Each structure stands twice: as C-alpha cells, then as structure tokens.
Structure 1
Amino acid sequence: MTASTSPKRHLFATALLCSSAIVPFTATVAQAQDTQASNRNNDEIIVTATRRETSVTDVPYNISAVSGTAIEKAQIFDDAELLRSVPGVGVIDRGARNSGTLNQVRIRGLSVDGNGLGDYAVSSVASVSTYLNETPIFGNFLLRDLDRVEVLRGPQGTLYGSGSLGGTIRYITRKPVLGEASGWASTSFSSVKGSESIGYSLDGMVNVPLGDKAALRVVGSFGDYPGITDYVNVYDLDANGIPVAPSGILAADASYGVVEDADTVEQWMGRATLLWEPSDEVDLTLMHIRQSDDVGGRRQSSFNVDGFGNAYGDNENGSIQLEPSTRDINSTSLEMNVDLGFATLTSSTSHYDHTGDSISENTGFYAQAGFLGFYYNYPRPMASAVRTYADEAIVQELRLVSNVGETFDYVVGGFYRKQQIESTQESYLRGFKQWWDTLLPGLAAVVSGDKDFDYRRIENFEEVAAFGEVTYHATDTIDLTIGARYFDNKSENDTFIDLPLYTGVFTPTNAFFETSEDDILFKGNLAWRYSDDAMIYATISEGYRRGGSNAVPLTGTFAEDPGWQIYGADNVVNYEVGTKGSKNGLTYDVSAFYIDWSDPQLNTATTNWGFFAVQNGSSARTYGIESSLDGYIGDNWHYNLGYAYVNAELSGDFFSPSNAVTPVAIDGARLPGAPEHMLNWALDYTGSINDDWDFFARLDGSYQSETRNGVGVSPTFNVPLDGFSLWNATTSFTRGNFTGSLWVKNIFNEKGVTGVFTEAYMGTSPAEGYFGNGNKEMISLPRMIGVTGSVGF
C-alpha cells in the first residue's frame, strides 16, 4: 500500500524546500553585488497595505507593488499589461469595450464564471476587490500619474472595509506637493497592426501651491485610437435602422457592407486633488475623478466561415451589426488623517456613480437556440440586445491605527456602504414587425413591435462592518497578528421581465425579495524575522463574498423553481506560508498557498426563462506557489522574474437549483481563466550616452499556459484555450526635462486568446437566414508601435 500526501502538506513542504534553496542563493548574489550597491538608485517601494508605511519586504504576507515611475518608464497604458507583470495574476482581456462593466482579474484561480462574461453587469461581486486610494470601486481608470499599484493576494477583510475573496488591488494616485509649482505634458502616437490609422493620446499634470498649507494637483488625459477589427457581414440599414430589403420585405435576400476598423476607442479622464494641511497633525485630501469611454465595437475576431462559406481573416468579426458601448464614471472622495499622538485616525468618505450602455449582437445566439425559432425565423434576422448598467454608492470608513509599540499595536475600523445597482436589457428583432405586417396585414395587431424581451433588475445593498487586527511583538524578531471582521448585510432585489413581442400572450412579471446575512471572519499571521533583512511567515485567513437574491417569480407565466430565488455567500479559508527578504538591492519572495472554497458563486441564467441569476456550487479548492526575484547585474542592468503555479479545481459536483440529479459541472473540473503556469520577466538597462543624454531600455514579457473557457460539462462553453506569451520593448532618451521614447507592444503579434464565444453558442445558421457568424475570440492587442514625448516643468 502506498502512502498518500495531501496537496496542502506536499505544497507547504515544497515551499519550505524552495525557501531553503533561494535564501542562500540570494545571499550569495547579494554579496557579489555588495560593492556596487552604493552606486545604485534606491528602488524600494513604500506601501500602505498594512495601513502603515512599510517596505514591501517588511509586509508579512504576499504582496506585489509596481511604482508609478516604473509604469511610466515601461510605457504601460492599460490594466491588462500591468497585471500580467505581477506574478500569479490572471486577466481576461476584453479590450476597451465594456471594460468597466465587470472586474475580470483573477488571483489564485478563484473564479468559476466563464471567460465570456462582461457584456452585462452581473449580480455577484468580483472575487478580487479594487480600491482607488481609500474608495472601494471598480472603474478601470486610465493609469495616469499614479504613485504605485499594490496587489495583495488572499482575503483582506481584517484590514479593509470592503471584504475580498481572492485579493485586493489598490491604485494609489500621487498627491499634491506643498510649496511646489510643477507639471508635465506628454503626447503619444501609435500604430497597431491591422489598423489603417494612427492613434494618439495627450496627457498632462499641473501642481499648484495654494499658500504654505495647501496645493492642487490636476491631471488630464485624452486618447483617440483607431480600431483594428473589420465587421465584414454588417447589414446595410435604412433610415429606421432596419436591414435593407433589396427585393422587397418578403424576399429572403439582404444587402451587406464592411465597416473597417470598427472598434474605435475614445477616452478622456480628468482628476483634481486638493490637499490641505492646516497643522502638523491634520491633513485633508479632496479628490474628484471623471472618466468617459466611447467605443465603436469589439476587439474580438470571428473564426471559421460565414454563412456564405467565406473564411474569416485576421481581425474580422462576423456580427451583422455594430456593437458600440459607452460609459461614464464619477467619483468624489474626502480623506482626513488626524494624528492623536498615540494613533492616527483616518476618515474616508466617498461617493461614486458609474453608468454604461452597449449594443450586443444576439442573432447568432437566437440562431443556435432552437426554442426561439417560433418567432425568430424571418428574412434578414437582426437581434439586438441593448443593455445598460448603473452602480451608485456612498461609502464611509473610519480607521484607527496605533503607533508601533514595543509589545502591541493595532488597527481597528468601521465600514458602511449603501449601494444601488441597476441592470437592464431590451432586446429587439429589428424589422420583425415590418415583415409581419406585410405578410399578414389582417393580423397586424398580434405583434406589438420589434421588442421581444424586456428585463430590469434593481438591487439595493447595505453593508455595515467592523474590522481590525492586533499584533503582539513576542520578541524582537517574532510577531503574532490576530484579526477579525464582523459584517451585517442587507439586500433587496426587484426584478421585472416581459416578452412583449406578441400582444397579450405573456403577462409582465415583477418579483421582489429581501435577504440578510451576518458573520465573523478571522485571520492569524505569524512572522519570524530571522535576520535583519529576511523573514518567514505563515497565515490562515478567511474571506467571503456577499450573497443576495435573484428575485425570480414563483408563479405565473415566468415561474421558476424556488431554489433560484436566493444565493448564499461563498467563503474561503486561505492557508499560506512564505519567505521574503532583501539585501543590497536584491529582493525575493516565495510563498505557497492552499485555499478551501465553500459554496462558490456562479453567474448564470435560470432554467426556464433566462433571468440573470447567481447560483451556489458545492466546493472548490486551489493551491499553488508564487515567487518573484528582483535584482541587478552590475550598476546598470536590472531584472525581475516571477513564476506562479496554480492548481484550481472544483472539489464537488455543481448542480442547478432546479435539477439536483444532472450536474452542470463535475468534481475535478478545472476552474476557468486559471492558467496552471504563469511567468513574467523584465530586463532593463539605465545608463548615460554622454554628459547631456541618459538612456533607458527595457525588454519584458509574460507567459500563461493553457486555460479553460468555462467550468461546465457542456462544450458550448467549456473549451480549451491555448497558452501564449507576449513580449514588449521600450527605449527612452532623456535630456534635462525632456524624454523621448520608442516602444513596441506584443512584438511577435501573438493572438493571446483569453475567452471565446463558441459556434455552438453563437454560430452561423444560413438555413434560418443568418449569414453572419456570432462566434468570437477575445484576443490580445496585436503588435503596436508607438512614440512618446514628455516634458516636465
């Protein structure tokens, strides 16, 4: 009989072996670099992840940080590229369209949602929380004038008001500088392979002192980028937006056109920050940020052939209509810090309002869903889903952070959020009414119009939480931290649904439901600083994601199984051990984790009538190793390496609330969007050409192994996605306050697919008059070459 070892024990043993190997290795390299350290710039990043200013290497758990300066030097413009440079962070790259609708970042594999989500706002919150300074908000803001970005892995509810399941990402903006008048201006021009035009962006910042105790910092950004995607099967439309009928309304033929570079992107962002320090003990920061996006279509390409048998080429989309989106987000926050002598009291008050809309091609979905054929099968079918979302919240957090004591120190806080989320969908069969009235003029009253589906969900959510940590300094080198979070949530869901196409056939339905929940979560952390610049740590922490109600009707035309009416919170228990250290500019971090996930939430649709809904599964588990190494070769060469191994699977069958016999996903299914292996790397050189000019060059990249598109047993969604690597390069020349840069993204023009709508889900169907093809792949941005010039003053 062979003895077995649990993944948890095996993983932690592996981590300890890695630690024992890497510590002497880094020590040797650091000693070799010791004589050069004095000539090297100090690249240490100070973070506030623990609610105190601390070096990354002194934080006793797994955290990564990227400085704003590094983001700017590498010419990183979007979240997808930024987060690919962080070990163990996965991104579903949808491009700019609907990029603010849904947080598609995945840490440690904690997601069961399919990679295709994102066209509409879902009910459940993301497994990864995001903060803009002290405001918990997902806005996918432009990366301009940032101080740093912090990525915290694992649950963070005992230090942050907004709980998180898999981790927290914090975007920290630069504050105004007192007594300094300064600024900068920058412009970029770029060309993307497959596009016919040049894109550009204009960015700038000005810092204005307002006396000795106040300052104002204003940041502005505007970008106008041509598309790369050609919509090659688009209907020609008449003045009413109905497909043109060349041979008459009852004839089957249609007129098609091509719209080149349809996925244009226009974005602008403005941010104003006012800092006032009336005394040495008090400071107040008032910030307002607004961003607007206007996107012409999807950066997603179709594959195989259209209904005429023509094969799709690179960057060609088979939708028979354009799919634009817009969004606007406003956020205002007031942060106040008061030094009480023994502790610092922080108050953060914020309000945000985030709205968006889009049009999605649903004709391919209707063509594949045979049960819709009773009203779908008409000449020149054109199914449009017009969707909107709105998210508005008021957030208040109070936090008291003690000074570091000899024996104890603490963080305690309270959190309140009142939030309203609205999601709508109006679906239209463009031209159906016109065709019906022409075919059956005597029965014109039977069809009410082109609208065939009407849906609205409004959810009001209120959360009250208390959180905190106490750290006991057992010795000069050993710290023990205990944390807890209590939360009390209330949720109201009001849902409306109607199928209005046929007059009087279906009765509109409203459903309303209320839920509440409360619980306490715990965290324990032990850290041993076995030398002045190295530590070993171990953490056990709990995380949760709130539950809620789906508010489905239980009687009438649109009745659903009662099991769909509510969904519960899901919870994780995170076990982690690791080691990290720094010496003479060389830093390392190795950690191993094991996570038990109970009742994972899946965003899906109800069985009978397709209400957007959330259901709970049984259980899942993820485990893996995350590691990073950052150092120098001589005075001029700098490198960093990151590797993550993640094994993320269901650990129990997943059943629909209305069917406890046939699983929708089975035990052992790999979680979607979670590569087993992820690598990232960067090598840069900084030096001088002569007394006037400095030179910077950087080569970086990332790799992820094969992933799955979904978690279910159905091949309609759960298909494999190939692994890929992306490479980027930047060179910059600096003289005084001027810097000129030449950069290339995706050097080898890798396709980089992170999600797909399959043909089984949205394919072509010539037999039903649909000659386009609704399948699509979510591809990385093709090779882009650009230049940037910036000047400071």
Structure 2
Amino acid sequence: MSAIGKLSTFTLLSSTALSGLMALPAIAQDSEASDIALEEIVVTASRRAERIQDIPYNISAVSGARIEDAKMLDSAELLRSVSGVAIVDRGPRNAGAVNSIRIRGLNVDGSALGDYATSAAATVSTYLNDTPMFANLLIKDLERVEVLRGPQGTLYGSGALGGTVRYITRKPDFDGFSGHVSASLSSVKGSESLGWATDLVANVPLGDTLAFRFAGTRMDYPGLTDYVNVYELDANGVPVAPNGILDPTASFKSVEDADTYDVWFGRASLRWKPSDSFDVTATYTRQSDDMGGRRAQTVGRDGFGNEYGKYEVGSVQLEPADSDVEMGALEATIDLGFATLTSSTSYYEHEGSSISENTGFYAQNGWLAWYYNYPRPMATAARTYEDKAFIEELRLVSNSDGPLQYVFGLYYQDQDRLATQESFLVGAKAYVDALYGYDVSWITGDQDFHYILDENFKQKAAYGELTYAFSDKIDVTVGARYFKNESTSDTFMRCRSGPDCSQSLNPPSRPKRIRCSSRRT
C-alpha cells in the first residue's frame, strides 16, 4: 500500500496558460523502456552527463514526467516500480525516521523498525541533488530519479554499501516564464472522507543570467485506519473511570480514519549563470508533516472477543506524529576547460516526534503485575528525533575526449543526531495512591522510563576513479577511497519502575549512562 493508500484521483484544474510549460523535456525515462526510449536517457550517475546505456554500472532512471503522469506521491510508491529495490511501506507516519530502502536485500535495520531513530548508517544512501540526507520528502518537480546498485564509495562523498538513490530537482530556466497550477480530489478505499491536494510550480527568469523557480504543495489526505478501542480520556489525559478509580470499568470509543496526513511543502531555487563556464544554484527546501495515527491492521480478537476487521487497529490510544525538514544548499560548477570543478555546500535539519502505543507490549511481557494490575493501563512512549548536518563536497571531473577520464573528490560531513523516549503508564500513580489510601512515597509519578541518545558523526574522505578506454568496447576503471570516520555516542537511560528496574515499584533506580566513541580510517 502506498503512503496515501490506493487513490482514485480526479484532476480539477490544470493551467498551462503560462508559456513554455509543455516544452519541459522528459530527459530521463524508465531504464526498462524500449530501445527507442533508451536513446533519450541522459543521467549523471557517473558525475558527467552520459546516456544510460554508456554507463558501465547497474542503474535505473525514472523521469520526472513519468512520476507526474503516474501521479506518484511518495518515494515508496516510486521505488516499488524499480527492479531490485525494496522498501517497507508503513505509511507516512513511519516513513521518515528510519531509512528502510533495500537494494539487493542489503540493510542494517530490521523491517519492524520505524517508530524511533536508530544508531546506524543505512546501507543505501539517498541524495537530494548533491546533498546526502534521508527524509520523507514529497517527490515534486523532479528532473529524474536515479537508482545506482552496488557500492558507491568511489563516486559519491557519502559512500554506501548497497547503493544510492538520487532525487534530482529541476533547475531554474533562463528561456522563459513557465509554470502550472493544479488541484485534485482523492478517494481512498476504506475511508469515509475525500482528500485534496494543490500544486504550484513557477519558473521566473530575472534576466539573461538569473532565474528563480518555486514548487509548492499543500496536501490533506484522509485516513483509512480505524482505532476501534480507544480510551475515553478526562481533562488530564487519563483514561476515564466511570465507576471510580478502583473499579475496573473503562470507557471506550472508536475513532474512524485516524491516520490522516497533512503536508506543507515548498522549494525555492535561485540560479545565476554569468558565463558558460560558471553556474551556481542556491536551493531552500522545507516540508512539515502531521500524521493522525499509524497505518496498520490488528489481527485476531479484542478483549471482548470481537474479531478485528479490515483497516482496524486495537490500540487503546491514538498515535499521532509530526516531522519537519529544512535544507539549504549552494551548488556551483566551474568549467576549467580540462575539467569541471563542482562545489556543494549544504546544511539540513530534520526533526520529528510521535506517540506510540506500548500497552500491548507491557501486557505480553507480564509487566502490568508490577503496576498492581492497574485496570485501565495506557502505556505511552513519547519519542523524538533530530538529525542535522553540515556537508561540503569538492569534485573534479575530466572534460577531455581522450582515452583517460577521471573523477576526484573531497568530502566532509559533521552530523549531530538526537533521539529521546519518555515512557508513561498514564494514571498509575493516582491508582496506586487510591489503592493504598495515601500518597505512597516510592512512586513519584506515571513516568517509568527516560532515554536520551546523543550522537555526533564526523566523516572526511578522499575518493576517485580513473577510467582508460583501450578501445571502443573495452574500458578499465580503478577506484579508491580513503576515509576517516569519528563517532561519539552518549546514552542516558533511567528506569523508574517495572520489572527491568526492580522487583516492585520501589524508588527509582540510579540512572545508567553509557558513553562510547570510535574512530575508523
């Protein structure tokens, strides 16, 4: 299922009155298309513009025109159309925290992960133009998407074991004013509501050497997942006790179409090309997502013996999430004649938060006994993640027509990542106080777990490839990469109650702090 579900989309408005819109070329086609289409495919996977059939790598390319024609909405839907690529699609709520893209089956994180950020480097790197970053960005106003299989350590600054996915955006154009405005309605199977989306793309020349381009999207899609056993909550967010706090009776409600998806997206680019040998583009990208719940389905029966239906989840609480991505990049190329020098400078910040349901996890492990069998348990995990990095890459690519070709690059990355979790058994403190008849001293509140992971990664690398053409049919390529990675991880964990900390609800255990660092060259 795609991140939005199975859609039936009806275009309401598509304005092409702005000149030049229909002249936008689709220079990249699907690599599995016909031989005629293959003649038109031009990619830059080897760091120079080449026809896809001339590149000695296993590569696929999908044009921006095909993405738009197929009404593809997210990377999960796009990558499913590329052979040899797999992605775990759990909907937009879990799409941005963990990179679940797999090429040739390689990955370091399990398919079940997605609720929280992990301390691992993905085997598949993702690039937005020349910036290595991973986020659940909308695939809007793209020139093409390139998928490279296999290790990419000698062509890309952020090397990857499994492969690389490159999202290449359309640059501002100096030839004329163009753009389009569109709007759509969508009907999602299993939902009671309609979704809608609006798109705006505008290309504005500001002179012969300066141009501006903007792409913006506003989407509001309905959910299809019903949370059928959600607690009724009081003003303090505690499950309602209709017959008193010591009575086991609870009050439930059903929330239909809980996994809503609300998105704001914008990208602005300014391009300056004062001569044929110098070209610089500044790009700013921003996206904000709000998700109402998890896209999932519970199997089996609930506590009352009722079997869960299609698109139904048995969580006792809603699981909203949000994320925000902001990135600025400055990419410049200088034609030196014998070679092209490229500089890419970028900075991004990616952060998000979510509420996860852990009540079933507590119950399956028998932990609720340590909470005096609190009759209305609602175990909540409030999680956050942050990822921000400064990246600089210099690259020199030969321009000669001779038999010897080369690519040399220098790469630097300084990345900070933060992940937190605050766990609560909501209402447990008040219940135990009522059970004992006084304010028990060994329980200070509902929180039972506190976790902080603070990491820093620094990477310096020099890489390159040399290719010599012995004939029209035989090329020999050698590549090398020298890198120095430094990482520091500071982990803080404090368990306040429960079986992992003590044999009963005793005073909070002492915090555990783990600090480690590593260096690899």
Superposition TM-score, scaled by structure 1 size: 0.60
Q: CA deviation at 1:73?
A: 1.1
Is residue 517 of structure 2 the alignment partner of residue 511 of structure 1? no
Is residue 111 of structure 2 the alignment partner of residue 108 of structure 1? no
Aligned-CA RMSD value: 1.5
Alpha-carbon separation, structure 2, partners of 1:505 and 1:267: 41
Question: Is 2:227–2:315's contact at 8 Å kept on the other side of the alignment?
Answer: yes
1:490 is aligned, of 486, 492, 497, to: 486
Alpha-carbon separation, structure 1, partners of 2:329 and 2:390: 10
1:264 is aligned, of 244, 260, 264, to: 260
Q: Cα 1:161–1:42, aligned 2, differ >3 Å: closer, same or farther?
A: closer
* Runs (4+) off by over 4 Å: none
Alpha-carbon separation, structure 1, partners of 2:95 and 2:410: 31
Is residue 495 of structure 2 the alignment partner of residue 499 of structure 1? yes
Deviations 1:534-567 (A, max 9, x none): xxxxxxxxxxxxxxxxxxxxxxxxxxxxxxxxxx
| Alignment-derived partner of residue 329 in structure 1 | 325
Q: CA deviation at 1:74?
A: 1.3
| Alignment-derived partner of residue 123 in structure 2 | 127
| Alignment-derived partner of residue 436 in structure 2 | 440
| Alignment-derived partner of residue 23 in structure 2 | none
1:689-708 equivalence runs, <5 A: none
Question: Is 2:326–2:350's contact at 8 Å kept on the other side of the alignment?
Answer: yes
Give the number of the structure with larger relative contact order, counting CA–CA contacts within 8 Å between residues 6 or more apart.
1
Question: Is 1:135–1:395's contact at 8 Å kept on the other side of the alignment?
Answer: yes
The code of the aligned residue for 2:431 comes to: W
| Alignment-derived partner of residue 189 in structure 2 | 193
SS, match of residue 78 in structure 2: helix
2:463 is aligned, of 467, 473, 478, to: 467
1:585-734 equivalence runs, <5 A: none
Is residue 442 of structure 2 the alignment partner of residue 450 of structure 1? no
1:47-58 equivalence runs, <5 A: 47-58=43-54
Alpha-carbon separation, structure 1, partners of 2:152 and 2:366: 46
The code of the aligned residue for 1:506 comes to: S
Question: Is 2:410–2:461's contact at 8 Å kept on the other side of the alignment?
Answer: yes
Q: CA deviation at 1:370?
A: 2.6
Q: CA deviation at 1:267?
A: 0.7
Deviations 1:721-745 (A, max 9, x none): xxxxxxxxxxxxxxxxxxxxxxxxx
Question: Is 1:422–1:457's contact at 8 Å kept on the other side of the alignment?
Answer: yes
1:94-243 equivalence runs, <5 A: 94-111=90-107, 113-243=109-239
Q: Cα 1:43–1:372, aligned 2, differ >3 Å: closer, same or farther?
A: farther
Deviations 1:333-353 (A, max 9, x none): 000000001000000000000
| Alignment-derived partner of residue 22 in structure 2 | none
Deviations 1:141-189 (A, max 9, x none): 1011000000000000100000101010000000000141111111111
Q: CA deviation at 1:303?
A: 0.9
| Alignment-derived partner of residue 380 in structure 2 | 384
Q: CA deviation at 1:371?
A: 5.0
| Alignment-derived partner of residue 354 in structure 1 | 350
Deviations 1:625-682 (A, max 9, x none): xxxxxxxxxxxxxxxxxxxxxxxxxxxxxxxxxxxxxxxxxxxxxxxxxxxxxxxxxx
The code of the aligned residue for 1:300 comes to: A
2:425 is aligned, of 417, 422, 429, to: 429
SS, match of residue 456 in structure 1: strand
Moved more, 64-73 or 471-480: 471-480
The code of the aligned residue for 2:172 comes to: P
Q: Cα 1:470–1:389, aligned 2, differ >3 Å: closer, same or farther?
A: same
| Alignment-derived partner of residue 29 in structure 2 | none
The code of the aligned residue for 2:417 comes to: I
SS, match of residue 285 in structure 2: strand
| Alignment-derived partner of residue 6 in structure 2 | none
SS, match of residue 80 in structure 1: helix
Question: Is 1:366–1:376's contact at 8 Å kept on the other side of the alignment?
Answer: no
2:392 is aligned, of 396, 403, 406, to: 396
SS, match of residue 374 in structure 1: helix
Deviations 1:295-342 (A, max 9, x none): 000110111100110000110000000000000000100000000010
Deviations 1:589-625 (A, max 9, x none): xxxxxxxxxxxxxxxxxxxxxxxxxxxxxxxxxxxxx
Give the paired residue count: 482
Is residue 370 of structure 2 the alignment partner of residue 374 of structure 1? yes
SS, match of residue 347 in structure 2: strand
SS, match of residue 160 in structure 2: coil
Q: Cα 1:280–1:476, aligned 2, differ >3 Å: closer, same or farther?
A: same
1:276 is aligned, of 259, 272, 275, to: 272
SS, match of residue 433 in structure 1: helix
Is residue 472 of structure 2 the alignment partner of residue 476 of structure 1? yes
The code of the aligned residue for 1:442 comes to: Y
Alpha-carbon separation, structure 1, partners of 2:370 and 2:496: 14
Q: Cα 1:377–1:88, aligned 2, differ >3 Å: closer, same or farther?
A: same
The code of the aligned residue for 1:383 comes to: A
SS, match of residue 441 in structure 2: helix
Alpha-carbon separation, structure 2, partners of 1:113 and 1:353: 22
The code of the aligned residue for 1:381 comes to: P
Superposition TM-score, scaled by structure 2 size: 0.90
The code of the aligned residue for 1:507 comes to: R
Question: Is 2:357–2:381's contact at 8 Å kept on the other side of the alignment?
Answer: yes
Q: CA deviation at 1:91?
A: 1.2
The code of the aligned residue for 1:439 comes to: L
Question: Is 1:132–1:170's contact at 8 Å kept on the other side of the alignment?
Answer: yes
Question: Is 2:38–2:53's contact at 8 Å kept on the other side of the alignment?
Answer: no
Alpha-carbon separation, structure 1, partners of 2:363 and 2:241: 20
SS, match of residue 440 in structure 2: helix
Deviations 1:735-779 (A, max 9, x none): xxxxxxxxxxxxxxxxxxxxxxxxxxxxxxxxxxxxxxxxxxxxx
The code of the aligned residue for 1:268 comes to: W
SS, match of residue 350 in structure 2: strand
Q: Which structure 2 segments of 5+ residues have no match?
A: 1-31, 498-504
Question: Is 2:338–2:400's contact at 8 Å kept on the other side of the alignment?
Answer: no
Alpha-carbon separation, structure 2, partners of 1:505 and 1:470: 61
Question: Is 1:448–1:503's contact at 8 Å kept on the other side of the alignment?
Answer: no
The code of the aligned residue for 2:433 comes to: D
Alpha-carbon separation, structure 1, partners of 2:423 and 2:212: 46
Q: Cα 1:465–1:451, aligned 2, differ >3 Å: closer, same or farther?
A: same
| Alignment-derived partner of residue 77 in structure 2 | 81
Q: Cα 1:42–1:411, aligned 2, differ >3 Å: closer, same or farther?
A: closer
Q: CA deviation at 1:503?
A: 6.4
Alpha-carbon separation, structure 2, partners of 1:43 and 1:237: 62
Q: CA deviation at 1:405?
A: 3.6
Question: Is 1:98–1:358's contact at 8 Å kept on the other side of the alignment?
Answer: no
Question: Is 1:347–1:396's contact at 8 Å kept on the other side of the alignment?
Answer: yes
Question: Is 1:231–1:319's contact at 8 Å kept on the other side of the alignment?
Answer: yes
Question: Is 2:199–2:218's contact at 8 Å kept on the other side of the alignment?
Answer: yes
Alpha-carbon separation, structure 2, partners of 1:441 and 1:278: 80
The code of the aligned residue for 2:92 comes to: A
Alpha-carbon separation, structure 2, partners of 1:244 and 1:120: 29
